[in-house]
Amino acid sequence: SKNTMTVHWLSVRGGARHLRKAAERGQKLEIAIALGVDPLIIMAAAAPIPVDLSEWLFAGLYGGSGVPLAKCKTVDLEVPADSEFVLEGTITPGEMLPDGPFGDHMGYYGGVEDSPLIRFHCMTHRKDPIYLTTFSGRPPKEEAMMAIALNRIYTPILRQQVSEIVDFFLPMEALSYKAAIISIDKAYPGQARRAALAFWSALPQFTYTKFVIVVDKEINIRDPRQVVWAISSKVDPSRDVFILPNTPFDTLDFASEKIGLGGRMGIDATTKIPPETEHEWGEVLESDADVAAMVDRRWAEYGLDDVDLTAVDPNKFGYDVRSSR
């Protein structure tokens, strides 16, 4: 209705935790929804930062200045002072209504799920406000573009939590969080599995990452050709693939056998060392540095100066890059 709406919260996110605490206290949960805010605040809200770190503080630190806040009119909350609209209301724990179906980032219409009901009793806005919105869907969409920026934000946070991780990447095509590629400076056997397990527990959002691929630090994790080579040449499925069944999962993921429960797969695509393997591992083929330098110097002499070595033609690798939509 014009005064109510449902809200779909992931169980690991802050809003759901606040609602559980309000239910334990037997109180209503005060809610304020700010529409039309700085994109940095949206990224801070979406980032899986540690529970004890304020999103306001995170946004201020990352943006280089504090976030101006203003008190709400009817609830004891603060919102960004430059919000276009602010909706104020409450949730009564246990009051639910069917939510959905809506188009979702997974590329499907989601299911219908009972979700908390917000009852609004106040709306404020700027003079001549602008209503900012977006839509979800199969990548690439606007949310996937923001995820690229979030990936850069996550990296130093993750490296603080799991020190052996050199770098990590969340491919857009994997919905920006369903698959993660991690590179490590491997020093001991079993380290890749340890890194994958540590990744899943490092930050709440990574609970819903289905696939974690661990590679050596020499692999460019943002180059799918190198990652696929590592998987193909370094992985024995019977030894290097492990699955965690029946773990908490995203209710928007239809691939799960049971909604809310799903499996996760770890793939160790690192070079194996004893006792992971009982035989000697071959040396990686590499160009002789002197020969490579000579070829670079004589590139134009060979009549190849019009060849751009920095650009990749996907068709030369067998990919069909024509749009499917």
pLDDT tens-place string over residues 142-187:
777 777 777 887 788 788 888 889 998 988 888 878 899 999 999 9
**Would you call 240 a catalytic residue per the annotation?**
no
CA distances 126 to 36, 86, 158, Å, are 10, 9, 38
Shared domain check, 47 and 13: yes
Which residues form the domain of 33? 4-125
Shared domain check, 88 and 198: no
**Does residue 255 belong to any structural domain of this protein?**
yes
Q: What are phi and psi of 184, to 5 degrees?
A: -130, 155
SS3 (DSSP) at 317: helix
Shared domain check, 109 and 153: no
SS3 (DSSP) at 182: strand
Shared domain check, 229 and 192: yes
User: Which among 99, 104, 250, 253 is annotated as catalytic?
Assistant: 104
Shared domain check, 97 and 68: yes
CATH number, domain containing residue 197? 3.40.1670.10
Above 70 in pLDDT, residue 316?
Answer: no
**Does residue 275 belong to any structural domain of this protein?**
no
Each residue of 256-276: pLDDT tens digit?
888 888 899 999 999 999 999
Shared domain check, 55 and 89: yes
Shared domain check, 106 and 196: no
The count of structural domains within the chain is: 2
Better pLDDT: 232 or 17: 232
Q: What are phi and psi of 216, to 5 degrees?
A: -70, 160
How confident is the prediction for the chain on average, in pLDDT? 87
Angle between helices 39-46 and 142-161 (to 10 degrees): 50
Domain endpoint, select from 98, 125, 152: 125
Query: Residue 319's pLDDT band (boundaries 50, 70, 90)?
Result: low
**Does residue 306 belong to any structural domain of this protein?**
no
Q: What are phi and psi of 17, to 5 degrees?
A: -65, -40
Structure tokens at 52: 């004890």
